[in-house]
Amino acid sequence: MLLLRAIGLMLLLTMAGLTPSKAAEADLRASIGKFATATGFSATEAVVRELAASGDPAVERPLSALTDGNLYIRKADSQVFVGKESGNSIELLDPLSGENAAEAAKADLTKIKVNNGLRRVIRDALGTLTLRARDASVRLAAAMTMFKTPDAANIEPLDAAIAAEIDPSVKALFEQARAASVLVSDKPEADKLAAISVVAARGDRDALSLLTSVEANARGAVKEAATAAIGKINATLAVWDAGQNIWYGISLGSVLLLAAIGLAITFGVMGVINMAHGEMVMLGAYTTFVVQQVIRTSFPGLFDWSLVIALPLAFLVAGLVGLAIERGIIRFLYGRPLETLLATWGVSLVLQQAVRTIFGPTNQEVGNPSWMSGSFDVGQLAITWNRLWILVFALAVFGVLLYVMKRTAWGLQMRAVTANRRMAASMGIRTPWVDALTFALGSGIAGIAGVALSQIDNVSPNLGRGYIIDSFMVVVFGGVGNLWGTLVGAFSLGIVNKFLEPYAGAVLGKIVVLVLIILFIQKRPRGLFALKGRAVEA
Amino acid sequence: MRGNFAKITKILSAGVVAAGLLASASAKAAEDTIKVGILHSLSGTMAISETTLKDVMLMLIDEQNAKGGLLGKKLEAVVVDPASNWPLFAEKARELISKDKVAAVFGCWTSVSRKSVLPVFSELDNILFYPVQYEGEESERNVFYTGAAPNQQAIPAVDYLMSADGGSVKRWVLEGTDYVYPRTTNKILEAYLKSKGVPAEDIMVNYTPFGFSDWQTEVSAIKKFGSAGKKTAVVSTVNGDANVPFYKELGNQGVKAEDIPVMAFSVGEEELAGLDTGPLVGHLAAWNYFESIDTPANKKFIDDWHKFIKNDKRTTNDPMEAHYIGFNMWVKAVEKAGTTDPDKVIDAMVGVSVPNLTGGYSTMMPNHHITKPVLIGEIQADGQFEAVSQTPGLVMGDEWSDYLPDSKDLISDWRAPLSCGNFNVATGKCGGKGTN
């Protein structure tokens, strides 16, 4: 009997530890029920504040559901549920326990509306509630929110959290958040001065933003300390800004390189003015779209691999179209640059309209795989993953192409035909086929550039238009017929552009770059790395 | 080479014209129909937005014919393709009016295309319905503006951001594409913000070229501007294709709507269709219509649209509603006048009132602009907007902005006896800075 009772007591105790006590739970349910009668954002906000004031971690579930727009009211009985979409109906979960409660059609439910103000209030509320969460990344997020929304009331829970924290990186953030809260509290001057040095040590834009508002409201020694700290942060940030411009320039350069590298073959090596080059890029992007569509409908698990799968397909699609263009049109026009220009311009219009007819004129959605989303920080520099991968990819494509041109038999034949067509023919090289394959290679590379560009630009029939001018600019600037010239040309144009942009603005910056290129071409008509020798005159 | 290049452009444009002529020649001429011209680009850069408007016009005309046509006659659509080429808009407009003898034209998207056709419409005396939000500073006898004027979109949007609900914004970034609509709108907004006591150092204006795709510097400048300890918002008049890379960069650099909201005037459901809107939830747009508006009229319109276009994924948007309103107004005015003669229809148009899709009525005012509700919506994860604020009543389009020194004294009233698009109330004369 005693044993039974002891077990019963233990069970009760563990249950009390896991779920809120009955009375508290009833209170919470009553508060959550008020969502059903709240009209307007301010009324909903009052309910959120009431829930947050309970300090009960259990309110996290309904509040996060509310931010995500997943909190519903059942019209029949005004009950509040967390909804989970499953097909056409919505699965209703209990807002506190998260257990499956019912199912309902969309029409029988009202979604509780949220706006930015409400999301902010919830985020702040969740910040204090999740300070003791088990997951370190959740605690980290809580510390970041609390730093951005300092409040004197936060000091006490933060003190407790700092004492209990074991992860040093989270602890440091907690201390910064505490310092931020001290700055807006009415603590004595000495505490505030210490807090300023903690915040100043952080040294980023959020710290700057906080100190600027402190400086505006403070007096005496605190104001002086804040001013000094702001000056110091600004000085460091100026250095990082320069680094940021270089990174942005390199990143723009990699995009230019990708767009231009196929053209460096068709125009640079073969001398064909291919106005349909941009459309090859577009075809690559559309191939990515089709691949993702198939993956979305048939193999959702493979989504992160969609780009890898799209690469060879895009190369094939664009390469085959390029082959068809060369065999069908361009081979009759070698040595007649003007006619080639006109014919390929026509081809570009045909391809654009064809894509418009098949896929429609509107943008198509190409998703970013998870490894290409978001950013990471290097010091005060935010580097976005998609830009970094595009840079790596551009350099890889360049390396492979260089290898093909310099180290393979095919590359040798290509260069031989370019250097002296008749001599090459006499040596037994089938020049027409080399031409066709070279053009297909250039087009195929434009296609894989399209896969990468689909990650940062619109996938629309006009995609190629935006890149054709820039591509020609890079190839001409770098020196026609020289792959290294294209590389250097792309990166220098990118960096010059990004250094001008903050001072001159995007519009003027672009004009200045164009003028500089015109002046440069006047001085060196063959570009940065001019080809020398007989081939030039041929 | 230079001479050759000029020749090439000439050959190219001649080719485009010839293609257009062929297309319109195939439209058969029948005596007992009323012809309606549709002047929207079906190729070139603007096709992305304008093709949808051509389709919605065809749908509206079909529906009217199913209801028995107009004045006992069937309506016949005459579609031409001005190919996103501004001078070609004027040529195509002339062709529609003089050759096809259309009763009215529905068309144009960009302001520059509208400006290019204005002289044609006043010379040949026909009617143009213009369905897109624009910068104002214009009122023409032959044009009916069914899109929003700045006070029906930009000013209420800024008011919302300044309010407590919108986050009490104190610092403003005006980000736009470099052409007439953003420049004029930003000029009006700057004057408006200053009149509300916003100091000049809290306003940053920046422009980017058409189709701009590398937003890294701009987004980091916005982040930098936003870290001055005051609530900051971006008001974006970025146009068309440039929006997708802009929003992608915002998402990647972690600019959250709760911290720095972006209020857009040119981003609708169509633009969002090409985007993963997950990271963009909460960014805003100001329009007079959202697809998510829950009214019976809107539900029917969306169903009809999906049936007509045979694709239930296609979205509806604000300019489509503007054509819906404009077309119904024109039908009503023609019935009222008993003829399709443009002069009589223009006179009959003023005061015509038709239901809009957001549950109210829109009325044509004497200044040839219409009354509309103004809605502020937040982007949702499913690519739709959810209205978070709506003006209490209808807002009347104000063509001459009260916040620009050049136009604050001007009004327009196309009813007799005034019949003037730029009447100066200070001098009591018709004229002044009207022709823009």
Picking from B207, B211, B229, the nearest residue to A212 by CB comes out as B229
* Pairing between β-strand B143-145 and β-strand B128-130 as defined by DSSP bridges: parallel
Examine the fold and report which residue of A118, A147, A162 is the final residue of a domain before the chain moves on. A118
Q: Looking at per-residue confidence, does B184 or A363 come out higher?
A: B184
Q: Which of A458, A491, A518, A521 is the best residue to mutate to test the B interface, defined by the most B CB atoms within 10 Å of its own CB?
A: A458
Q: Are residues A390 and A270 in the same domain?
A: yes
* Distance of alpha carbon A133 from alpha carbon A8, whole angstroms: 29
Counted across chains A and B, CB pairs separated by less than 8 A come out at 171
Which structure tokens are listed for A358?
């098949």
Identify whether the C-beta of residue B108 lies closer than 8 Å to the C-beta of residue B136. Answer: no
Minimal CA–CA distance to B260: which of B285, B283, B239? B283
Does residue A10 lie in a domain region?
no
Measured in angstroms, the CA of B416 and the nearest CA of chain A are apart by: 44
- Give per-residue pLDDT as tens, A420-431: 888 889 999 999
Q: Are residues A143 and A258 in the same domain?
A: no
Answer whether residue A16 shows pLDDT above 50.
Answer: no
Show residues of chain A in contact with B276, CB under 8 Å: 365, 367-368
Does residue A348 lie in a domain region?
yes
Answer whether residue B430 shows pLDDT above 50.
Answer: yes
Q: Which run of H or of E encompasses A462?
A: none
Does residue A50 lie in a domain region?
yes
Q: How confident is the model at residue A270 (pLDDT cuts 50, 70, 90)?
A: confident
How big is the CA angle at B78 (ends B74 and B79), to the nearest 5 degrees?
140
pLDDT at position B203 is 95
- Beta-carbon separation of A457 and B257 below 8 A: no
Show residues of chain A in contact with B254, CB under 8 Å: 374-375, 382
- Beta-carbon separation of B252 and A248 below 8 A: no
- Mean pLDDT across the stretch A467-490? 90
- Beta-carbon separation of A460 and B241 below 8 A: yes
Identify whether the C-beta of residue A488 lies closer than 8 Å to the C-beta of residue A498. Answer: no
Nearest-by-CA chain B residue for A454: B245
3-state secondary structure of A443: helix
Tell me, yes or no, if the two domains B2-149+300-372 and B151-181+195-292+375-390 fold the same way.
yes
* Distance of alpha carbon B93 from alpha carbon B89, whole angstroms: 6
- Mean pLDDT across the stretch A229-233? 90
* A433-437, A495-499, A526-530: the lowest-pLDDT one: A526-530
Amino acid symbol at B118: L
- Beta-carbon separation of A115 and B213 below 8 A: no
Minimal CA–CA distance to B153: which of B172, B130, B127, B181? B181
Q: Are residues A199 and A265 in the same domain?
A: no
* Distance of alpha carbon A463 from alpha carbon A289, whole angstroms: 13
Examine the fold and report which residue of A57, A92, A118 is the final residue of a domain before the chain moves on. A118
Measured in angstroms, the CA of B9 and the nearest CA of chain A are apart by: 10
Picking from B45, B165, B206, the nearest residue to A115 by CB comes out as B165
- Give per-residue pLDDT as tens, A145-185: 888 888 888 888 888 888 888 888 888 888 888 998 888 88
Picking from B167, B218, B258, the nearest residue to A123 by CB comes out as B258
- Give per-residue pLDDT as tens, A28-42: 888 888 888 888 888
Q: Are residues A96 and A171 in the same domain?
A: no
Burial class from Cβ neighbours inside 10 Å (0-12, 13-18, 19+) for residue A353 reads middle
For B125-135, letters b (16+ CB in 10 Å) and e give ebbbbbbbbbb
Identify whether the C-beta of residue B76 lies closer than 8 Å to the C-beta of residue B30. Answer: yes
- Beta-carbon separation of A457 and B43 below 8 A: no
List alpha helices for A454-538, DSSP H: 465-478, 483-523, 534-537
- Beta-carbon separation of B228 and A212 below 8 A: yes
- Beta-carbon separation of B273 and A365 below 8 A: yes
- Give per-residue pLDDT as tens, A121-146: 888 888 777 777 778 888 888 888 88
- Mean pLDDT across the stretch B407-425? 87
Measured in angstroms, the CA of A477 and the nearest CA of chain B are apart by: 19
* Distance of alpha carbon B285 from alpha carbon B283, whole angstroms: 7
Give the start-to-end residue ranges of the domains of chain B.
Answer: 2-149+300-372, 151-181+195-292+375-390
pLDDT at position B381 is 84
Measured in angstroms, the CA of B140 and the nearest CA of chain A are apart by: 31
Q: Are residues A277 and A309 in the same domain?
A: yes
Does residue A473 lie in a domain region?
yes
Task: For residue A440, report the phi and psi dihedrals to the nearest 5 degrees.
Answer: -65, -40
Q: Looking at per-residue confidence, does A361 or B12 come out higher?
A: A361
Measured in angstroms, the CA of B379 and the nearest CA of chain A are apart by: 10
Q: Are residues A334 and A397 in the same domain?
A: yes
* Distance of alpha carbon A452 from alpha carbon A389, whole angstroms: 9
- Mean pLDDT across the stretch B362-371? 95
Whether the link from the prior residue into B319 is cis, omega within 30° of 0, is no
Would you give the end-to-end CA distance of chain A in angstroms? Answer: 106
Minimal CA–CA distance to B92: which of B6, B12, B10, B16? B16
Answer whether residue B187 shows pLDDT above 80.
Answer: yes
- Give per-residue pLDDT as tens, B280-323: 889 999 999 999 998 999 999 999 999 999 988 889 999 999 99
- Mean pLDDT across the stretch B5-33? 51
Which structure tokens are listed for B21?
């002529």
Q: Are residues A307 and A454 in the same domain?
A: yes
Answer whether residue A367 shows pLDDT above 90.
Answer: no
Answer whether residue A535 shows pLDDT above 60.
Answer: no
Q: Are residues A170 and A248 in the same domain?
A: no
Domain that holds residue A194: 130-218
Instruction: Calculate the average pLDDT of chain B.
Output: 88
Show residues of chain A in contact with B43, CB under 8 Å: 349, 352-353, 356
Burial class from Cβ neighbours inside 10 Å (0-12, 13-18, 19+) for residue A67 reads buried
Show residues of chain A in contact with B178, CB under 8 Å: 507
- Mean pLDDT across the stretch A214-232? 86
Q: Are residues A138 and A108 in the same domain?
A: no
Answer whether residue B23 shows pLDDT above 50.
Answer: no
Q: Looking at per-residue confidence, does A51 or B8 come out higher?
A: A51
Show residues of chain B in contact with A141, CB under 8 Å: none
- Beta-carbon separation of A506 and B11 below 8 A: no
Instruction: Work out how many domains chain A is built from and give that number.
Output: 3
pLDDT at position A6 is 55
CATH number (3.30.9.10, 3.30.1380.10, 3.40.640.10, 3.40.50.2300) of B2-149+300-372 reads 3.40.50.2300
- Beta-carbon separation of B241 and A466 below 8 A: yes
Q: Looking at per-residue confidence, does B80 or A269 come out higher?
A: B80
Minimal CA–CA distance to A177: which of A205, A213, A141? A141
* Distance of alpha carbon B265 from alpha carbon B147, whole angstroms: 12
Picking from B226, B245, B253, the nearest residue to A382 by CB comes out as B253
Minimal CA–CA distance to A485: which of A534, A438, A527, A537? A527
Q: How confident is the model at residue A282 (pLDDT cuts 50, 70, 90)?
A: very high
- Give per-residue pLDDT as tens, B99-117: 999 999 999 998 889 999 9
pLDDT at position B277 is 83
Does residue A234 lie in a domain region?
no
Measured in angstroms, the CA of B257 and the nearest CA of chain A are apart by: 7
Highest mean pLDDT of the ranges A75-79, A230-234, B273-277, B327-331: B327-331
- Beta-carbon separation of A216 and B276 below 8 A: no
Minimal CA–CA distance to B46: which of B103, B98, B109? B109
* Distance of alpha carbon B131 from alpha carbon B129, whole angstroms: 6
Which structure tokens are listed for A131?
């300070």
Instruction: Calculate the average pLDDT of chain A.
Output: 86
DSSP letter for each residue of B375-413: EEEEE-TTS-EEEEEE-SS-EE--SS-TTSTTTTTEEEE
Nearest-by-CA chain B residue for A462: B45
Q: What residues contact residue B44 under an 8 Å CB cut-off, 6+ apart?
A: A462, B83, B84, B85
Query: CA dist B389 to A30, A113, B271, Å?
Result: 28, 11, 21
Q: Is the dihedral of CA A329, A332, A337, A338 positive or negative?
A: negative
- Give per-residue pLDDT as tens, A380-414: 888 889 899 999 999 999 999 999 999 999 999 98
CATH 1.10.10.1100 fits B151-181+195-292+375-390, yes or no: no
Show residues of chain B in contact with A148, CB under 8 Å: 259
Does residue A484 lie in a domain region?
yes
- Beta-carbon separation of A244 and B220 below 8 A: yes
Measured in angstroms, the CA of B220 and the nearest CA of chain A are apart by: 9
Answer whether residue B202 shows pLDDT above 90.
Answer: yes
* Distance of alpha carbon A271 from alpha carbon A435, whole angstroms: 11
- Beta-carbon separation of B245 and A345 below 8 A: no
Does residue A125 lie in a domain region?
no
Measured in angstroms, the CA of A381 and the nearest CA of chain B are apart by: 10
Locate tokens 């509780």: which residue? A112
Q: What residues contact residue B69 under an 8 Å CB cut-off, 6+ apart?
A: B34, B75
Show residues of chain A in contact with B241, CB under 8 Å: 363, 458, 460, 462, 466
Would you give the end-to-end CA distance of chain B in angstroms? Answer: 38
Measured in angstroms, the CA of B150 and the nearest CA of chain A are apart by: 24
ipTM of the complex: 0.80
Which structure tokens are listed for A23?
């009375």
Does residue A432 lie in a domain region?
yes
Nearest-by-CA chain A residue for B255: A374
Identify whether the C-beta of residue A279 lies closer than 8 Å to the C-beta of residue A443. Answer: no
Q: Are residues A324 and A370 in the same domain?
A: yes
pLDDT at position A24 is 79
Show residues of chain B in contact with A83, CB under 8 Å: none
pLDDT at position A64 is 85
CATH number of the domain enclosing A380: 1.10.3470
